[in-house]
C-alpha cells in the first residue's frame, strides 16, 4: 500500500525559529513535492524534486528551502519562521512524467504548522 | 493566468441524495484532470484522473465527466453517505507537469 509519511501532524514554533518538516515515501517514487494549503488559496506548490539532490522552485518558494539527500526523503526547511508561514503543509510523491503517465500524486496526512 | 475554479464553495445534502460538483478551468495546454477527496485533517486522495480523450469515468459512487472543449468537469456523487463529507479538489495538469489546484468544494452529508 502506498505510503507518504510526514513526521509531525502538528507543530507550534516561534517567529525566527528554524523549522524542519520531514517527508518519507516508501514507493520508490522519483518525484516529491511540498505544498502549502490555505483557505481560499487551494494548494500552492513550494518546491519539488525530480531526483536525489535535485530541486526546483515552485510557485511560492520564498522563505523556504528543501533537501533531497535520499530518494525516499524530502525535507522542507523554514530558515526563519514567520507568522505568515502558519499553514497546512502537504507532501506528495509520484512517478516521473512520461508521455502517457497520469502521474497520480500520493499525499501525506499533512503537518499543521503554527508560527507564533 | 491558468486557473481552476470550483463551485459551489460548500454544499450540504441529506444522506442518500445525489450531488454534482463543478470544476471550470482555463489551464492550457491540458494533459489531465484529477479529482481528489480530502477528509478533514488528512491529505488528498485521488478519486479519478481523466485525459483529453476521456469523457466519463466512474469510481464506485463517484462519476467524473470532462468536456475538454468547454474546459469543464463535474464530479457526481450518487446515493451519498456520511463518509462522503469531505473537501473535493479539482486539479488540472499541463503536459510539462505543472498542476493547478482548485480551492475545493466542502461537502457535508447530514443524516
What is the per-residue pLDDT across A12-67, written as a single tens digit (0 to 9) for each? 999 999 999 999 999 888 899 999 999 888 899 999 998 898 899 998 999 999 99
Residue closest to B35 by CA, chosen among B88, B97, B108, B107: B88
- Given an 8 Å threshold on Cβ–Cβ distance, is B43 in contact with A40? no
Which positions in chain B touch A92 (Cβ < 8 Å)? 43
- Given an 8 Å threshold on Cβ–Cβ distance, is A103 in contact with B104? no
Which positions in chain B touch A104 (Cβ < 8 Å)? 34, 46, 49
Q: What is the pLDDT of residues A63-105, one digit of tens each?
A: 999 999 999 999 999 999 999 999 999 999 988 765 445 567 8
Supply the mean pLDDT for chain B.
Answer: 93
Q: Computed from CA positions of residues A87, A93, A98, A103, in that sequence, does the dihedral angle turn out positive or negative?
A: negative
Predicted local confidence at residue B42, as pLDDT = 87
Of A42, A102, A106, the CB nearest to B104: A42
Q: What is the pLDDT of residues B11-42, one digit of tens each?
A: 999 999 999 999 999 998 998 999 999 998 88
- Given an 8 Å threshold on Cβ–Cβ distance, is A105 in contact with B4? no
Of A97, A102, A110, the CB nearest to B43: A110
Dist CA A52 CA A73 (whole Å):
9
Dist CA A103 CA A112 (whole Å):
26
- Given an 8 Å threshold on Cβ–Cβ distance, is B43 in contact with A41? no
Predicted local confidence at residue A100, as pLDDT = 46
Dist CA A6 CA A111 (whole Å):
7
Which positions in chain A touch B32 (Cβ < 8 Å)? 102-103
- Given an 8 Å threshold on Cβ–Cβ distance, is A42 in contact with B41? no
Residue closest to B88 by CA, chosen among B69, B103, B67, B71: B103
Query: Mean of the pLDDT values across residues B44-60?
Result: 91
> Is B42 within 8 Å of chain A by CB?
yes
Of A40, A104, A109, the CB nearest to B42: A109
Predicted local confidence at residue B67, as pLDDT = 94
- Given an 8 Å threshold on Cβ–Cβ distance, is B49 in contact with A107? no
Of A102, A105, A110, the CB nearest to B51: A102
Predicted local confidence at residue A86, as pLDDT = 97
Q: What is the pLDDT of residues B62-90, one digit of tens each?
A: 999 999 999 999 999 999 999 999 999 99
Amino acid at each position: 500500500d502506498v505510503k507518504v509519511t510526514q513526521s509531525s501532524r502538528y507543530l507550534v514554533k516561534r517567529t525566527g525559529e528554524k523549522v524542519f518538516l520531514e517527508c518519507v515515501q516508501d514507493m520508490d517514487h522519483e518525484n516529491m513535492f511540498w505544498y502549502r494549503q490555505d483557505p481560499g488559496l487551494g494548494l500552492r506548490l513550494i518546491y519539488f524534486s525530480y531526483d536525489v539532490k535535485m530541486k526546483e522552485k515552485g510557485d511560492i518558494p520564498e522563505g523556504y528551502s528543501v533537501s533531497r539527500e535520499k530518494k525516499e526523503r524530502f525535507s522542507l526547511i523554514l530558515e526563519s519562521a514567520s507568522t505568515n508561514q502558519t499553514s497546512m503543509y502537504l507532501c506528495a510523491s509520484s512517478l516521473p512524467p512520461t508521455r502517457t503517465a497520469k502521474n497520480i500524486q500520493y499525499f501525506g496526512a499533512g503537518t499543521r504548522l503554527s508560527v507564533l | 493566468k491558468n486557473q481552476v475554479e470550483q463551485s459551489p464553495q460548500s454544499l450540504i445534502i441529506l444522506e442518500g441524495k445525489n450531488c454534482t460538483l463543478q470544476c471550470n478551468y482555463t489551464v492550457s495546454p491540458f494533459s489531465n484532470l484529477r479529482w481528489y477527496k480530502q477528509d478533514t485533517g488528512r491529505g488528498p486522495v485521488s478519486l479519478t484522473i481523466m485525459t483529453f480523450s476521456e469523457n466519463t469515468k466512474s469510481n464506485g459512487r463517484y462519476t467524473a465527466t470532462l468536456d475538454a472543449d468547454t474546459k469543464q468537469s463535474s464530479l457526481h456523487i450518487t446515493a451519498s453517505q456520511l463518509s462522503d463529507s469531505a473537501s473535493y479538489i479539482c486539479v488540472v495538469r499541463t503536459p510539462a507537469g505543472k498542476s493547478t489546484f482548485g480551492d475545493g468544494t466542502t461537502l457535508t452529508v447530514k443524516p
